[in-house]
Structure 1
């Protein structure tokens, strides 16, 4: 489906966003915009504030300044966090995890038939079809990331936030995720992707922001430097 035939996701406007943790300045007067329907990458060194900015966008961290969504954003925001440690002994299946994360009614009622069908379709799209009844803790790190991506697109959001979603994913899985993300962007979803792989950023993104507490560079992907030191000059 082309963007012309679908409703675009929202544009994002970050205006003078600052954030402190304890006495440490994590973000310092960050201002930039993401166009509606764009695939935009956030890059920069570890500790540069990328995840903190995303968490501020999601309303999870207090900050000064403003973050505004302009346009159609009535659907839920999809979010794939960094791969977190998970107790592999927790007796939950993939479907259990998806039901818990996407619960819209009391948990004891379980998932609705429509939700189960949507979850199965999303798992197929992310390349982990047939794993719904497997223990979530038995999956590899890359498989768990793809389950989290499946959850993030159920229901289909208009804004999708990805925090290093391809960490731990093998090459075939990486290609599948890239293809899926491009399909989502082509359908009008606005995507913000935290990414450390500069080659991948150049391959998939239309625009980029280099962040290290403040904005070092913002614009078309072609402006992306070859190293962080180049961006800081």
Structure 2
């Protein structure tokens, strides 16, 4: 899959519109009049420096942060499931929590200590198989490598099948095999018309896999196809502590 040859599919996920979205925590401005649009069923990447507001923006999208301005989800039909895959999982590695226990806790209403419910067990098995973790279901989460834990996080993001999926640096801990798993999932989501909002620091992966990219350093520095926007000059401006641009640069 490449940004130059997007797959033509019927979008099931929503379009997302950020219109002059601002966020201030205490006296610190986090987002400054952020405006851009995510197309329905597209893979849209967010790039920028640490502290530039990327995670805050997706927390705003998920309804976890107060904000000023307008944020609108435009669903093509009925409102569907929203999935979220965090950058990392913080937990006590000494806990006797297996992969199945974690999936049960995240994906079902039945208490995890009662085991997998028959209703979700097939979906959990399928999700773990898709990320290559089916044979490690009885392993303790604390005994897994960072890349294996990231695969489990990707698996929980598949249940229920999302129509809007938010990914916070999902490739950060993945090895080469895990990266290939992620790329297959990304292709599957695109073919299914899922809207994917993807924070990523690997600019080569963004250029290869995303359909559109927004550069964010408290405000939008650029927004457009990766092949046209990820130029050395724009990236230098983006990752500067104080961006020199005077607003968004749409392509």
Alpha-carbon distance, 1:109 to partner: 5.2
Partner SS for 2:152? helix
Instruction: Report which stretch shifted further, 80-89 or 38-47.
Output: 80-89
- Measured at CA, do residues 16 and 160 of structure 1 come closer, stay the same or move farther in structure 2, by a change above 3 Å? same
Task: Using structure 1 for the length normalisation, give the TM-score.
Answer: 0.93
Alpha-carbon distance, 1:84 to partner: 3.5
Which residue matches 2:135?
130
- Measured at CA, do residues 32 and 69 of structure 1 come closer, stay the same or move farther in structure 2, by a change above 3 Å? same
Q: Is residue 231 of structure 2 the alignment partner of residue 225 of structure 1?
A: yes
Instruction: Report which stretch shifted further, 98-107 or 180-189.
Output: 98-107
Q: Is residue 41 of structure 2 the alignment partner of residue 34 of structure 1?
A: no
Q: Is residue 173 of structure 2 the alignment partner of residue 168 of structure 1?
A: yes
Per-residue CA distance 1:89-141 (angstroms, 9 max, x = gap): 11111111111112234556543213111111101101212111111111111
- Measured at CA, do residues 31 and 199 of structure 1 come closer, stay the same or move farther in structure 2, by a change above 3 Å? same
| 1:1-233 alignment runs, 5 A limit | 4=9, 6-71=10-75, 72=77, 74-105=79-110, 110-222=115-227, 223-226=229-232, 228-231=235-238, 232=243, 233=245
Give the distance between the partners of 2:11 and 2:218, measured in 1 at CA.
Answer: 33
Q: Which consecutive residues of structure 2, in runs of 5 or more, have no partner in the other structure?
A: 1-6, 246-251
Structure 1 stretches of 4+ with a deviation exceeding 6 A read: none
- Measured at CA, do residues 136 and 201 of structure 1 come closer, stay the same or move farther in structure 2, by a change above 3 Å? same
Task: Using structure 2 for the length normalisation, give the TM-score.
Answer: 0.86
Q: Tell me, yes or no, if the aligned pair for 1:73 and 1:159 is still in contact at 8 Å.
A: no
Q: Which consecutive residues of structure 1, in runs of 5 or more, have no partner in the other structure?
A: none
Per-residue CA distance 1:158-181 (angstroms, 9 max, x = gap): 011000011111111101111211
Alignment RMSD (CA, Å):
1.7
- Measured at CA, do residues 219 and 143 of structure 1 come closer, stay the same or move farther in structure 2, by a change above 3 Å? same
Q: Tell me, yes or no, if the aligned pair for 1:27 and 1:213 is still in contact at 8 Å.
A: yes
Q: Tell me, yes or no, if the aligned pair for 2:101 and 2:113 is still in contact at 8 Å.
A: no
